[in-house]
Amino acid sequence: MRDFSQDHRWLSINTATVRRQAGAEVPLDRIIDQCAERGIRAISPWRDQVAAAGLDKVAAQLRAHGIGLSGYCRGGFYPAPDAAGLKAALEDNRRAIDEAKMLDAPCLVLVVGGLPGALAGNPAYKDIGRARTEVFDGIAASLEYARKVDMPLAIEPLHPMQAADRACINTLEQALDICDALDPQKSGMLGVALDVYHVWWDPKLEQQIARAGKERLLAYHVCDWLTPTRDLLNDRGMMGDGAIELRKIRGWVEAAGYAGYSEVEIFSAQDWWLRGGEETLAACIERHRSVV
């Protein structure tokens, strides 16, 4: 297992972690500068932040700083109530793949979607089996294009509390079953983004990480699970402040062959987003070295 205690060369910052600082929205170019100032070598930005800053500008700024990506957030949201909606989702994913390519990302992260409309409070249907079929078909179609342009897709299984509104793929096993069905040759073009927040509780986690292996483990996201959790989406904890055995899980991931970045992804409306970016980034670096 790699020793993270001496430096933070394997730290990546998911830019959602510092998208709000001292309660205010911060533009991506500022976040990139803040990361560069601290010797952070990789980030994972979100599409809306990139669009606001300008794709070309972001690509140039990253190149100028020598900062790479650990992933691009995000594609997915495949289910839809009708054919036009399904088609629109595929087109949007194609654009996301093109953007990921422009930014030289190692993978596009897929949050696959749940019941269409549920995120806005009004699901168009309630058949989660149908949603899962639409997700499977959507990933199959995206993969065809992703292969052409050489952009790996990383399915992120989400905690079941988000099955209705964000993702109906909820365990690593379920994600790997899809990978094996669509990419049996383990080409490296389809795998998973493993986020400890979503999977730490899974009794099959160790076994499924071993099953995934190096070819399927495309990204690794860390934060912590606070007790009690006050918000289903935006109450993630800083590593070390919650219930997740981070060292143990990283041990499993590295034993399976993963040797990439450990990406800090913290949505924290009631805590870290209210603090200054300097404080949050300093904590990310310190906890990366001491507890991740």
Q: Which residues bind Zn ion (CB under 5 A)?
A: 195, 221, 265
Residue among 175, 164, 242 at smallest CA distance from 209: 175
Least distance to Zn ion from the beta carbon of 87, Å? 27
Name every residue whose Cβ is closer than 8 Å to that of residue 67 and which is 6 or more positions away in sequence: 32, 35, 36, 40, 41, 42, 43
CA separation, residue 132 to residues 103, 116, 118, 165 (Å): 30, 11, 14, 13
Q: In the complex with Zn ion, which residue's Cβ is closer, 68 or 81?
A: 68
| The token pair that represents 83 in the structure block | 């054919």
CB atoms within 10 A of CB 71: 29
Least distance to Zn ion from the beta carbon of 140, Å? 23
Pairing of strands 24-25, 20-21: antiparallel
Q: In the complex with Zn ion, which residue's Cβ is closer, 215 or 265?
A: 265
Residue nearest to Zn ion (CB): 195
Q: Are 113 and 79 in contact (CB under 8 A)?
A: yes
Q: In the complex with Zn ion, which residue's Cβ is closer, 17 or 93?
A: 17
Q: In the complex with Zn ion, which residue's Cβ is closer, 71 or 79?
A: 71
Alpha carbons 124 and 266: distance in angstroms, whole number: 30
Q: In the complex with Zn ion, which residue's Cβ is closer, 146 or 194?
A: 194
Least distance to Zn ion from the beta carbon of 195, Å? 3
Least distance to Zn ion from the beta carbon of 193, Å? 6
Least distance to Zn ion from the beta carbon of 27, Å? 22
